[in-house]
């Protein structure tokens, strides 16, 4: 772990740290306040205002791909401290269909979630379902993973679906490729993503949704810079860094953020897509990222791995059979009302309560990590906080 990444130095522009309480987001329904910048890193404390409430940043969005955070009811999601959740355009368009969601109110009423929702554009499925997808300049044709039927997703179609779903924050449709990959394919996908972003921008019809563009470019520093610069010219309300956590090393991700984030406007929210190890979250925050999402808290929870400040706990390990300790002593989540020995028993007995409780614990842990990060930034001690967290996570059990 190269802790020096993300620290200020004299060659880096001070423009990243200017406080501008007046948002440049033109949409009257949204605004972003930059409240404080950490003294030693590029970590930012902000607040994103939406029609359905404010989101304190940095923030982590639990993933509810199909309109549900897997294995956790929406009330429990709220109790973890989550402020905003994510759902997926491609999957909801397949089942139950955006028209059905709209007929049932919209995604908020469908899920029972009254706070802000962000929908992914379906661009990640260009990567994850690559064997089922054919990409052209017009868009992507998929073979449904449900029944094999043909589905065409274009920038315009992605926007139309997201408008029907009624999410508050919506993402431009982009072309995601695996890493490593050939320079030719990465460059082609990058500039296609820029052209698709412009088509998304032209095709939106609602003024109560905030559209974010996605910076691509693989691990090529110059391509990342150029892509960010071209998207900034299009003046989006927010910007995401995409195409990472798809096979590269963590240090490569951090170096990519080091060259990409400085190209993004100070007064717009910045979102690192699909990145979710606790180590990566604090490293992203140190580089000026405001928003994160990942399936890791729930996916790992379902597979008996719990995140803690002293490293991950693998509950199936025999060492926990008679362990009377909770996962974490001061954690308020329902899992921590029980012993590690009991939680291990649930997994060994294949009781569904084990994955549910551990998923809730992990979601709670991630929200606490975000709250602690916000407090550390406000106190101008995020560099110390980051080092303390890394030191604790190395004590794996």
In this structure, the dihedral spanned by the alpha carbons of residues 386, 1, 35 and 210, taken in order and rounded to 10 degrees, is -130
User: Which residue is catalytic, options 38, 258, 280, 293?
Assistant: 293
Cα–Cα distance for residue pair 64/76, rounded to 1 Å: 13
d(CA 264, CA 239): 7
The DSSP result for 262-327, as a single string, is GGS-TTS-EEETT---HHHHHHHHHTT--EEEESHHHHHHHTTEE--TT--EETTSGGGTT--S-S
Measured at the alpha carbon of residue 147, what is the angle toward residues 145 and 152, in degrees to the nearest 5? 65
- Determine contact, residues 155/203, Cβ cutoff 8 Å: yes
Beta-bridged to residue 87, according to DSSP, are 119
Among this protein's residues, is 220 annotated catalytic?
A: no
Distance CA(184)–CA(165), nearest Å, equals 35
Among 38, 120, 174, 258, the one annotated catalytic: 120
Known catalytic residue at 323 = no
Nearest CA to 378 among 5, 31, 57?
57
**3-state SS class at 140:** strand
| Eight-class DSSP state of 330 | T
Q: How far is the C-alpha of 337 from the C-alpha of 343, rounded, in Å?
A: 10
Distances in Å between the Cα of 361 and the Cα atoms of 72, 79, 139, 181, 334 are 11, 11, 39, 36, 7
What residues are annotated to the active site?
120, 293
């Amino acid at each position: 772990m190269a802790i020096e990444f993300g620290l200020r130095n004299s060659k880096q522009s001070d423009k990243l740290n200017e406080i501008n309480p007046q948002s440049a987001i033109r949409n009257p329904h949204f605004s972003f306040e930059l409240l404080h910048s950490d003294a030693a890193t590029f970590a930012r404390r902000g607040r994103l205002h939406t029609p359905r409430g404010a989101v304190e940043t940095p923030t982590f969005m639990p993933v509810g791909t199909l309109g549900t955070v897997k294995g956790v009811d929406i009330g429990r999601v709220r109790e973890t401290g989550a402020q905003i959740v994510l759902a997926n355009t491609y999957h909801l368009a397949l089942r139950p269909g955006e028209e059905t969601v709209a007929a049932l109110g919209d995604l908020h009423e469908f899920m029972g979630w009254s706070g802000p929702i962000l929908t992914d554009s379906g661009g990640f499925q260009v990567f994850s379902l690559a064997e089922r997808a054919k990409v052209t300049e017009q868009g992507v044709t998929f073979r449904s993973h449900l029944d094999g039927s043909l589905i065409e997703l274009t920038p315009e179609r992605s926007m139309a679906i997201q408008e029907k779903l009624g999410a508050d924050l919506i993402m431009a449709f982009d072309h995601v490729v695996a890493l490593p990959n050939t320079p030719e394919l990465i460059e082609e996908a990058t500039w296609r993503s820029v052209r698709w972003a412009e088509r998304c921008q032209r095709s939106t019809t609602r003024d109560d949704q905030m559209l974010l563009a996605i910076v691509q470019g693989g691990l090529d520093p110059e391509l990342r810079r150029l892509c960010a610069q071209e998207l900034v010219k299009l003046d989006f309300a927010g910007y995401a860094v995409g195409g990472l956590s798809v096979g590269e090393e963590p240090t490569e991700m951090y170096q990519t953020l080091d060259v990409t984030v400085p190209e993004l406007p100070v007064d717009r929210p910045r979102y690192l897509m699909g990145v979710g190890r606790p180590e990566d979250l604090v490293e992203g925050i140190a580089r000026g990222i405001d928003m994160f999402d990942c399936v890791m808290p729930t996916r790992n929870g379902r597979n008996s791995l719990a995140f803690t400040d002293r490293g991950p706990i693998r509950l199936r390990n025999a060492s926990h059979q008679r362990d009377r300790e909770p996962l974490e002593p001061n954690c308020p989540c329902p899992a921590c009302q029980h012993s590690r020995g009991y939680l291990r028993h649930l997994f060994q007995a294949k009781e569904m309560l084990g994955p549910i409780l551990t998923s809730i614990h992990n979601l709670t842990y991630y929200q606490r990590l975000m709250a602690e990060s916000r407090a550390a930034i406000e106190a101008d001690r995020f560099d110390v906080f980051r080092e303390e967290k890394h030191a604790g996570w190395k004590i794996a059990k």
